[in-house]
Structure 1
Amino acid sequence: MTNDPGKEDFEVMPSLLSSSDLYESFKEYKRCLAALPKSELIKRGWLSEEERAVGSWDFFTQVHKKNQSALYRKNNSSDDPRILMWLSKVKLEANLRLFQKGLSDFEGIDREYLKSIAKMSPEVSAVKRLPDILKEKGVILIYCRYLPGMKLDGVVFRLESGHPVIGLSFRYPRLDNFWLTPMHEMAHVCMHIDNMDAPILEDLDIESEENLEIEANRLAKNSFVSRSEWRNCEAKYNKNDKVVEEFARSIGIHKAIIAGMLRREENNYRQYNNLVNEIDIREEVFGDD
């Protein structure tokens, strides 16, 4: 097994076969495979009927890598077979995207770029265009729908080629959750690209005390609204939906995002339900699938 966490699945496959603890990984793999919703995976095409019992090499590779290194720096999600399967699909798709036309070399993104992306949020159709927009900067954005029961919003990591990869699970159908997740991941890309050889899995329902996460949360929030604007925002004191809508319009950000930020800051998820649930972003992206 290579000690370089930047090596991707395609490159570590040969070394997997010589690992002294391959058998332990195999036992873990069988445990994970047994816990997966196989009918759902077959429906999606993630497993074939022939693979129902034996699973897939991509999935085994991910389980083995999890056993050999500290892949997960934010929570204990590494024990969830559904997340390992989901991550294996994101990694496979990311490697395939390297061979597609239109992917630029990654030369970094800055805070102003994040702000420009945030300004796209009022246009709901921008969600579908975002992967093509980001690949012009060399950032690979993958929409990979969550598996039922999976407590994960997204992931960010770097390929050996230097390209950052962001995977989104669409765990929640709300527009505010969609936009806050990729902005958080892009904040990592902006500030922490040298610390992304191992994937950072994001359960944004958890308030992390890690500096990397605090910094990413702060930059993501500031990309939508500056600290001074947020501090003086009337919507923080007047809980009327119309006040939220007017503030969002004045700064050029979708109203659902402002409502979602207020709900999270005040830990009150019963307010602004009409604003955050107005659009089902899963339906916009995946249709009736």
Structure 2
Amino acid sequence: MEAKVVRTEEQYAAYLDEVQALISEDPKLNSKKSERLELLTVLLEAYENSKYPVESPDPIDAILFRMNEKGLKQADLVPYFGTSSRVSEVLNRKRPLTVQMIRALTIGLGISADTLVGASLPDSPAKKGAVDWSKFPIKEMTRRGWIENVGKVAKDNLEEIVKGFISEAGLEFGAASFRKAFYGEAETPTSRYALYAWLARVIQKARDRKPKIGSFDPAELSTSYLKELAQLSRFDAGPLLAVEQLEKTGIAVVIEPALKGTLLDGAALKDSDGTPIIGLTLRYDRLDHFWFTLVHEVAHIWKHVDGNEAFLDDLDSSSEDRKEAEANRLATEAFIPRVQWRRSDAYTTPNKDTIERFAKDLKIHPAVVAGRLRKESANYSLFSDMVGQNQVRQLFPSGEECEA
């Protein structure tokens, strides 16, 4: 039967059943059934996006809406902001929210912190017209060997050293769009400099790897590709096999621990010549976290990354950004299709045996199933012996890539 755009719930349900049947057959890549599966998945996603859109709320609009809803005036917000002038500056978008303001508004007005955190990110230094090069984490960059030991060099020389490091990567302030909300220290201007330094280092290391990677063809990426990548998780050397597979596809993969003060799991971007780059911090040394982060970033490369933006992800935080929601959905579906999850014994009666059987049926590592149960229940004490703790960094043992 010819596949058509989904317009009704009945058609949606029918396609879900067909997708489940096709998944159970595990069709070969590029076969007619594989192509049918990919087409139906795209049609289902299009229907879900149109019927259940996920839009990114504007933080200031959210505050104004709550003020109108509660009949509040600007003077009523002084307890949350500190002074009347700060209230005016924030509402006129001239001043970013601080962590203290966000906490106060979340408790006092009941506005989600995820909504408010976007307003706390300051404009890039380029927009402010000045860059304070001393705010880069110079000591840590020196310790890692990114820049020469600057010691007590003059301020002007220090600026030139750091500026050279950033420009060597072809990265200018404002060139990367930080779309993900960060928490804690990552919300501060100082951490923004650290993010740029980390991003520059990832780009530089990716360029070193270019002679070893293949030519990138965007047409190679698909739901089937994500699924095949996810199924490499069942092997003991799966993370290494996945990196090898991605680099054959033309995607450079860099392991680089995050700088202090940033909450960062992974990144997806393209170099100036169009080479896709995935950066991983291995913040949590667990198999379930590695695999979801990796496939999430591949989904960004496939669907979202253009030449001018970088996605930097803290996957502990929730996000209402539509592109982040799509990357989450694609990654989740690649490992455990929605039509199989809630009907599985691993979901209804979770224990070691049901988790391992379900993982075997899906050809994925049990750690991924255990990780999903922990995430959905928000109970991270569950199945802690099944998520592959301390099994990732040991596979990438060279130098700084193994720093804690």
TM-score, normalised via structure 1 length? 0.80
1:184 corresponding residue in structure 2? 296
- C-alpha offsets along residues 92-112 of structure 1, whole Å, 9 cap, x if unaligned? 1223333x1442133331110
Taking the aligned partners of 1:240 and 1:174, their CA distance within structure 2 comes to 19
Pick one of 238, 253, 258 that aligns with 1:141: 253
Taking the aligned partners of 2:212 and 2:348, their CA distance within structure 1 comes to 49
Pick one of 317, 328, 332 that aligns with 1:221: 332
Pick one of 131, 135, 160 that aligns with 1:26: 131
2:141 corresponding residue in structure 1? 41
Secondary structure of the 1:244 match is helix
Structure 1 residue 149 displacement after superposition: 4.2
2:172 corresponding residue in structure 1? 65
Contact 2:147–2:165 at 8 Å: present in 1 too? no
2:396 corresponding residue in structure 1? 285
Larger relative contact order (C-alpha < 8 A, sep ≥ 6)?
A: 1
Mark the CA change 1:51 to 1:157 in structure 2 (over 3 Å): closer, same or farther.
Answer: farther
- C-alpha offsets along residues 77-122 of structure 1, whole Å, 9 cap, x if unaligned? 4731332221110011223333x14421333311101111111001
Q: How does 1:1-289 map to 2 (within 5 A)?
A: 24-27=129-132, 29-30=133-134, 32-33=135-136, 36=137, 38=139, 40-50=140-150, 54=158, 55-61=161-167, 65-66=172-173, 68=174, 71-76=177-182, 77=186, 79=189, 80=191, 81-98=193-210, 100-108=211-219, 109-193=221-305, 195=306, 197-286=308-397
Mark the CA change 1:102 to 1:82 in structure 2 (over 3 Å): closer, same or farther.
Answer: closer
Contact 1:141–1:165 at 8 Å: present in 2 too? yes
Q: Give the share of equivalent positions with the same residue, in percent.
A: 31
Q: Report how many aligned residue pairs link the two structures.
A: 262
Structure 1 residue 150 displacement after superposition: 2.7
Cα RMSD, aligned residues only: 2.8
Taking the aligned partners of 1:273 and 1:242, their CA distance within structure 2 comes to 15
Secondary structure of the 1:269 match is coil
- C-alpha offsets along residues 112-145 of structure 1, whole Å, 9 cap, x if unaligned? 0111111100113121233332122111111112
Taking the aligned partners of 1:97 and 1:284, their CA distance within structure 2 comes to 18
Unaligned runs of 5+ in 2: 1-125
Secondary structure of the 2:172 match is helix
Structure 1 residue 201 displacement after superposition: 0.6
Taking the aligned partners of 2:314 and 2:261, their CA distance within structure 1 comes to 13
Taking the aligned partners of 1:227 and 1:120, their CA distance within structure 2 comes to 20
Secondary structure of the 1:141 match is strand
Runs of 4+ aligned residues of structure 1 deviating over 6 Å after TM superposition are none
Taking the aligned partners of 1:192 and 1:253, their CA distance within structure 2 comes to 26
Mark the CA change 1:51 to 1:187 in structure 2 (over 3 Å): closer, same or farther.
Answer: farther
Contact 2:272–2:307 at 8 Å: present in 1 too? no
Taking the aligned partners of 2:152 and 2:235, their CA distance within structure 1 comes to 41
1:12 corresponding residue in structure 2? none
Structure 1 residue 41 displacement after superposition: 3.4
The farther-off stretch of 160-169 and 271-280 is 271-280
